[in-house]
Amino acid sequence: MTPWLSAFSLQTWAARNHVSSFLTHSVCCLLQMLENEMDVHADNLKSIVEQGREMAKAGHFDSAAILQKVDAFDRRYVRTNQPRF
């Protein structure tokens, strides 16, 4: 056995590989949960944007601010649905 493949090195590698595998699995599960949450709330988020735009179109006294905030909210929602990688 070569010196760099000592028992300690193999145990360390195995532990790191196990931790890495566990972390990868955990991240995948968390991403799936986040996607599910986004799907559950998608209709509510779209409804908020539509209601804000309807208020502005109906002549609300603060239409400019409502449109600005609704557009910013909508952009954030759209960005969450775009892949980052």
68-72 average pLDDT score: 96
Give the per-residue pLDDT at 68: 97
Assess whether pLDDT exceeds 90 at residue 79.
no
Give the per-residue pLDDT at 1: 46
22-39 average pLDDT score: 85
42 vs 71: CA distance, rounded Å: 16
Average pLDDT, the chain: 83
Assess whether pLDDT exceeds 70 at residue 35.
yes
